[in-house]
Amino acid sequence: MPSSRRHKRPANNYRSIMTEQKDPASISQADSLPETFRSGFIAIVGRPNVGKSTLLNHLIGQKISITSRKAQTTRHRIHGILTDEHAQFVFVDTPGFQTKHLNALNRGMNRVVTSSLRDVQVVVFVLEALRYDERDQEVLKLLPDNRPVLLVINKIDEVEDKGQLFSFAERVAQDFKFAEIVPVSAKKDTKLDELREALRRHLPPGDLIFDKDDITDRSERFLAAEMLREKVFRFTGDELPYSTSVVIEQFKMEGKLRRIHAAILVDKEAHKAMLIGKKGEKLKEIATQARLDMEKLFDGKVYLEVFVKLRSGWADDARVLRSLGYE
């Protein structure tokens, strides 16, 4: 299928988009690894809006997980893969843990968080600097006590008096025994090298899990839907994004051109007008910005056609959610 083709790194440093887990027996002699090589899965967890997806994107050096200032942007489990000469890090970006408005969609996202914590070797618990409340404590209760958990204090660039970070970290550490505490600014790439080194220390010895040039296990079809959904979040009001989803109805390769037909699903008839905008200008803006992001990520031209469709109650219908790929 064109949407799940294997990509290799070309001259512009674009890296592989999608792969299957690698069979260690298939690693060629040229791919031989040092005896000290480490690998493993690392869950990134936290409440909504602490910067988990931004952290993932900056750790691997490629945007694969969508971001916005609004909660509920990340809805799926996404693997981001970083491989260097010493280790392979398989980051698992999870939805923000939901404590309110528990419809079928939010319950499903919470299941993704809890199941991810069972399946990884290391956990990164992300907090926003100087902000720690009952929502964070709800996530803290889920953290495992039988594997390393690193506390990552994000957005330190927004703190003028850095001295406050030490007392803040001490206060949070009273509630859980963290393997390490690392303050960072994901957006500014501050102290991410220190975080990578800390994570490397806690990964177990192991072989490659994915091919060394891959950056995610997700297909181009999935990533195209996510890029479009991100623009819906960025260019519409506060209410609308939570009642929308995206379906890729067609994804075809025509030479080097990707021809994509997508539908934005809305819950109410009034939302269609909000998305389309006056003379279609809002929808045109959303589609144009999504197409530009797709072309950058896929390193090729994209023809994108976007429709808006009504599907009432989709976010609370388990059957519809399964058809949309939600876990």
CATH number for the domain spanning 232: value is 3.30.300.20
> Going by C-beta distance under 8 Å and a sequence separation of 6 or more, which residues neighbour residue 206?
37, 38, 39, 40, 88
Neighbours of 206 (CB within 10 A): 15
User: Do 148 and 230 sit in the same domain of this protein?
Assistant: no
- Count of domains observed in the chain: 2
Strands 257-266 and 122-128: unpaired
* CATH classification at residue 180: 3.40.50.300
For the segment 104-119, what is each residue's pLDDT rounded down to a tens digit? 545 545 565 566 688 8
DSSP state of 243: G
Whose CA is closest to 198, among 250, 263, 150, 255?
A: 150
- Mean per-residue pLDDT pooled into runs of 10, the chain (327 residues): 37 42 47 89 90 93 72 64 96 64 50 71 96 92 92 97 96 97 97 98 96 90 91 77 81 97 89 90 96 94 95 62 54
Residue 208 covered by a domain:
no
Residue 185 covered by a domain:
yes
User: Do 195 and 227 sit in the same domain of this protein?
Assistant: no
- Cα–Cα distances in Å, from 73 out to 50, 86, 196, 258? 12, 32, 25, 25
User: Do 87 and 49 sit in the same domain of this protein?
Assistant: yes
Residue 1, pLDDT score: 40
User: Do 307 and 255 sit in the same domain of this protein?
Assistant: yes
Residue 63 covered by a domain:
yes
Residue 69, pLDDT score: 53
Residue 321, pLDDT score: 53
CA 195, CA 185: separation in Å to the nearest integer? 11
User: Do 189 and 241 sit in the same domain of this protein?
Assistant: no
Backbone angles phi, psi at 151, to 5 degrees: -90, 120
Answer whether 0.85 is exceeded by the pTM.
Answer: no
User: Do 126 and 228 sit in the same domain of this protein?
Assistant: no
CA 80, CA 42: separation in Å to the nearest integer? 10
User: Do 128 and 260 sit in the same domain of this protein?
Assistant: no
Residue 271, pLDDT score: 85
User: Do 170 and 240 sit in the same domain of this protein?
Assistant: no
- Cα–Cα distances in Å, from 280 out to 83, 229, 242? 43, 17, 21
- Tell me which residue range forms the domain holding 91: 19-202
Element (H, E) at 181: strand 180-183
User: Do 268 and 188 sit in the same domain of this protein?
Assistant: no
Residue 43 covered by a domain:
yes
User: Do 66 and 139 sit in the same domain of this protein?
Assistant: yes
Residue 137, pLDDT score: 93
Q: Which amino acid is at 149?
A: V
CA 77, CA 97: separation in Å to the nearest integer? 12
Residue 1 covered by a domain:
no
User: Do 117 and 75 sit in the same domain of this protein?
Assistant: yes
For the segment 244-268, what is each residue's pLDDT rounded down to a tens digit? 888 899 999 999 999 999 999 888 8
User: Do 84 and 190 sit in the same domain of this protein?
Assistant: yes
